Amino acid sequence: MTEIENNKGQAEDLVIDKQYRLQEKSKAIEIIKRGMDIAREEIPKGRVATYIPELGKVDPHQLGIVINPLKGEKICMGDYDVRFTMQSVCKVIMLIVALELCGREAVFSKVGMEPSGEAFDSLVELDVSNSKPYNPLINSGGLALCGLLLPELSFQDILRFTRSICSDPEIVLDEVVYQSEMKTCSRNRSIAYLLQSKGILKKDVEDTLRFYTKMCSMSATADSLSNLGVILANDGVCAETGKRFMPSRTARIVKTLMLTCGMYDGSGSFAIKVGIPTKSGVGGGLLSVSDKRAGIGVFGPALDTQGNSIAGCKLLREISNDLRLNLFYDPEWNKETEEENDIIRGIRGSHVI
């Protein structure tokens, strides 16, 4: 199914501002449709997250996307309204809340700011080479953040904030997925006890684990994620209401970590190939932020070997440059290959070794 929602005024095209223009509306739709077709070809190469039994039952062939620009029309395609659990996408919300509630110093005393280079649920770097999680967007980092939040907030507090910042009152705890995860969370439990042994996690391990897993089990849609993304793209402010959800500094920290750490041990490759700050979850969700341009939500439950949506990543790669979503896109710098060939000839002619 395909739907185009015009809920942001009567703009005829997806104008972001005088400098950035995604594309004329019909052209944008054409680009996204073509990208969806190409991305669907990747689905057979992926697998759903069977290590969580309930996620293993999800139809892997689903794919949906919402492009939510600061100005202009929201474009929704495919399975954009299908509900799935946020899983690690919720770590973006955890980080926003922790930075605001506890402060930057407290947060980064518990977690680092560097890519881990390891799988999202790895214990190796924490046990062997570091005294705290490398960053807040891997499982060990999320558990460490929960240790900060749990004394101050309940799950219901987080749920209310999530509904608000995602503009989705229908976000709930998926109880079935939650119970399924709690029965199979031995690895996260091991990480939590390791954090406790290092003095990073001060609260009860089982309480922290339940709190963390409930947040991962919040339901969402690609549309929900795009609503969060467009707030981050607009410096923490809702463009429609003018409400500020976070200070500029918090928005910048979150987006930077999404770019450098949001795709686990595939973050560097994704940054080069796609160039959009993104956070993934094993439920198939992708939250992407094209700064000053658009928020993007994607759902595609078939995962690659790193735990990222295989079709979703391909789709973002296909549309990133054509829709001018790449973080480093600039209309003045988007030169054609003739100039690149001139540069190559210049290098060869200079005899640089």
Q: What is the pLDDT of residues 294-334, one digit of tens each?
A: 999 999 999 999 999 999 999 999 999 889 899 887 666 65
Residues of the chain with pLDDT > 70, as a percent, come to 83
- Split at pLDDT 50, 70, 90, the class of 150 is very high
Kindly state the percentage of the chain with pLDDT values over 90.
73
Q: Please tell me what DSSP assigns to residue 50.
A: T
**Whether pLDDT at 19 is above 60:** no
Considering 107, 282, 289, 298, which one is annotated as catalytic? 282
Give the SS3 label for residue 247: coil
What's the mean per-residue pLDDT of the chain? 88
- Write down the pLDDT at residue 158: 97
- Answer yes or no: is pLDDT of 352 > 60: no
What is the DSSP secondary structure assignment for residue 6, as one 8-state letter?
-
The better pLDDT of the pair 270, 72 is held by: 270
**pLDDT class for 73, splitting at 50, 70, 90?**
confident
Closest CA to 150 of 197, 119, 192: 192
For the residues 16-28, what does the mean pLDDT come to? 69
Q: What's the confidence (pLDDT) of residue 350?
A: 56
Active site residue 88: yes
- Main-chain phi, psi angles of 75, to 5 degrees: -110, 125
Amino acid in the structure at residue 333: W
CA distance 37 to 39: 6
Region 252-272: what's the mean pLDDT?
A: 93
Instruction: Kindly name the residue from 25, 71, 74, 91 that is annotated as catalytic.
Output: 91
pLDDT above 70 for 148: yes
The residue with tokens 């809702």 is: 238
The average pLDDT across 37-53 equals: 96
* Predicted confidence band of residue 1 (pLDDT cuts 50, 70, 90): very low
45 confidence band (pLDDT: 50, 70, 90): very high
pLDDT at 349 over 70: no
Residues 89-105: what's their mean pLDDT? 97
For residue 203, name the pLDDT band (cuts at 50, 70, 90).
confident
Which pLDDT belongs to residue 193? 93
Report the pLDDT value the prediction gives residue 89, as an integer from 0 to 100.
98
Q: What is the mean pLDDT of residues 144-149?
A: 96
Give the angle 2-81-168 at the CA atoms, nearest 5°: 130
Work out the average pLDDT over 146-159.
94
212 in active site: yes
pLDDT score for 4: 37
Q: Taking a C-beta distance cutoff of 8 angstroms, is the pair 67, 323 a contact?
A: yes
Tokens of 241: 């209401």
Contact 62, 301 (CB under 8 A): yes
Q: Is 91 a catalytic residue?
A: yes
Q: Of residues 20, 88, 92, 224, which has the active-site annotation?
A: 88
Nearest to 73 by CA among 1, 2, 13: 13
Q: What angle do CA 184, 186, 187 make, to 5 degrees?
A: 115
Could you give the CA distance from residue 91 to residue 312 in angstroms, rounded to a whole number?
19
Burial tier of 210 (Cβ tally within 10 Å: 0-12, 13-18, 19+): middle
Measured at the CA of 270, the angle between CA 264 and CA 272, to 5 degrees, comes to 135
- In the set 80, 134, 178, 212, the catalytic residue is 212
pTM given for the model = 0.88
Of 316, 262, 310, nearest in space to 66 by CA: 316
The whole-number pLDDT of residue 24 equals 80
The Cα diameter of the chain in Å comes to 66
Domains delineated in the chain: 2-87+275-348 (3.40.710.10), 90-216 (3.40.710.10)
Task: Give the residue-averaged pLDDT of 151-175.
Answer: 97
Phi, psi of 285 (to 5 degrees): -85, 150
Q: Which residue has the higher pLDDT, 16 or 242?
A: 242
For residue 335, the model assigns a pLDDT of: 55
